[in-house]
């Protein structure tokens, strides 16, 4: 909300796919999706959706994530047999859960706040949810344990999506995706286009290409704008080495 202002209208979605679809259909001006967590790693489904939908990354935000174990009033920690939450939240808290509730079953749900909602609607008294303080307040739940994340350095990087690209001024980050023939040295040659020009790569991720066994799409983030001379040269060289190349966007990098 800090990025868009207090006057924005929030449009909750039940899945990452729905976020992409609503932005593409013009039902939302922007979409915000998580792409990476400092503890649990990359959100692979979002990478696949970036390839499947022709939307642009126009910004990124890093958010400190703090998870709490919440339950219906009167529920005791010793009585918790199931813990509901989004798979990413469960992964970010798995070490703490193993120590705190070694016999509790983790139950994946579509959302952290959604897990709190399910708990309240069902009135389940042998289960708890991993969610935020706000979710506990909204659904009338109580906090059994605070700060469940395995490490205080728990940050999630979110991407801001739009049907149209932006032209950032000053410092920028660029994201792209490409694929190439699976031959010896192919990836080395592709990444060499950046190394020879001193362009700083900040992230590389590979995802399997559907219908092409053992073939991969490579996602790369680097510092720089796509209209800078050395970046244009690198992209031109990369295009000659790849069978597919798409720039996903140049955008202001996250602050802090």
Active-site positions? 156, 158
Q: Where are the alpha helices (DSSP H) in the chain?
A: 16-24, 44-52, 87-92, 94-100, 112-122, 133-138, 186-195, 229-241
Contact at 8 Å (CB) between 145 and 93?
no
CA distances 91 to 52, 108, 234, Å, are: 26, 10, 37
SS3 content of the chain, % helix, strand, coil (to 5): 30, 30, 40
The encoded tokens of residue 72 equal 């219906």
Q: What's the CA gap between 129 and 148, in Å, rounded? A: 11
Q: What's the CA gap between 104 and 98, in Å, rounded? A: 8
Q: What's the CA gap between 147 and 141, in Å, rounded? A: 16
**C-alpha dihedral over 91, 96, 99, 101, to 10 degrees?**
-70
Q: What's the CA gap between 87 and 85, in Å, rounded? A: 6
The encoded tokens of residue 146 equal 């605070």
The encoded tokens of residue 194 equal 């950046």
Closest CA to 130 of 140, 114, 121: 114
């Amino acid at each position: 909300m800090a990025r868009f202002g207090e006057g924005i209208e929030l449009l909750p979605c039940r899945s990452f796919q729905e976020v992409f679809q609503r932005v593409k259909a013009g039902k939302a001006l922007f979409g915000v999706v998580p792409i990476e967590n400092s503890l649990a790693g990359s959100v692979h489904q979002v990478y696949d959706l970036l390839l499947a939908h022709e939307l642009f990354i126009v910004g990124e935000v890093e958010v400190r994530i703090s998870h709490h174990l919440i339950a219906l009033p009167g529920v005791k920690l010793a009585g918790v047999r199931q813990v509901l939450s989004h798979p990413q939240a469960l992964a970010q808290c798995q070490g703490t859960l193993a120590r705190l509730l070694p016999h509790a079953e983790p139950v994946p749900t579509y959302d952290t706040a959604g897990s709190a909602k399910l708990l309240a609607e069902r009135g389940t008294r042998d289960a708890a949810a991993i969610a935020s303080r706000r979710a506990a307040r909204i659904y009338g739940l109580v906090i059994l344990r605070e700060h469940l994340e395995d490490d205080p350095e728990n940050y999630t990087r979110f991407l801001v999506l739009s049907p149209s690209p932006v032209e950032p001024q000053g410092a920028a980050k660029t994201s792209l995706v490409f694929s190439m023939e699976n031959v010896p040295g192919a990836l080395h040659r592709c990444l060499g286009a950046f190394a020879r020009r001193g362009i700083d790569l900040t992230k590389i991720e590979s995802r399997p290409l559907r219908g092409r066994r053992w073939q991969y799409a490579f996602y790369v983030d680097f510092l720089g704008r796509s209209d800078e001379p050395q970046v244009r040269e690198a992209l031109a060289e990369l295009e000659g080495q790849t069978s597919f190349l798409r720039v996903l966007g140049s955008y202001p990098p996250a602050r802090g």
